[in-house]
Amino acid sequence: MRALLILLAIVVATGVLVAGTIAIGWSRLHRQALPAQVAIGPQARQSTLQPRTLPESQLTSTAAPATAPATPPRIQDNSAPPQSPSQPTDGSILLTSATARIHGYKIRRTGRTEPIITGWSDSQEYVEWPTACPKAGRYEVEVTYSCAPHAGGEFAIHAGSSFARAKTENTGDWQSFTTVKLGTLDVINDNTTLSLRPTGEIRHALMNLKSIRLIPASSAAANVPK
């Protein structure tokens, strides 16, 4: 009986040993068969968290397409040309469109040989001639302009606190210019700036301005026939 028990114990121990050996071998085979990305351990977990790199051919940009900057509004060069036309020899002062300083966006200077001020459709825009009157005194004022039918408006020429008002008249078309006498200006100070400004509503366009002429009152009186 005792020998039987010893034999049974040996059989059980041998079975346990064989089962453990089989389990260890199976575990090793299972680990070798698993893919690298699902391997157990900190190193394997770290490798699975790394981003996958795509080839350049598959890369697409998610950024919004660049847009060209908005074109700024056109601002006219209001600086006067460096050369001024020759002045009359009779003592009068000729203020041409070529030497005018322009204030506005619609109004503009056109022409090269004999520039004119055109596009005058905004009543807030105007032109001026800095230090137009070198000497104080009284001046007769003449304006040379053109105005088409159903266009024009009222305007005024200012020299300091003195001004002369007028209204444009139809000259036939925009290419036909006429010279109109406006009245007199009493200029108080030397080197006074002169300006031409609309004073009311403009129909289509105020005028095409060619020039303004200032004639000293003494010269004008001397030229009056007796």
- Whole-number Å distance between alpha carbons of 146 and 92: 22
Q: What is the pLDDT of residue 91?
A: 81
The Cα-based distances of 214 to 131, 175, 224 in angstroms read 13, 23, 16
pLDDT at 131 over 70: yes
105 contacts 73 by C-beta, under 8 angstroms: yes
pLDDT at 66 over 60: no
pLDDT digits (tens, 9 = 90+) for 110-125: 998 899 999 999 999 9
pLDDT digits (tens, 9 = 90+) for 165-209: 999 999 999 999 999 999 999 999 999 999 999 999 999 999 999
Placement of tokens 């026939």 in the chain: 225
- Place 18 in a pLDDT band, splitting at 50, 70 and 90: low
pLDDT at 161 over 70: yes
Domain parsing of the chain, residue ranges: 2-45, 93-222
For the domain made up of 93-222, the CATH class stated in words is mainly beta
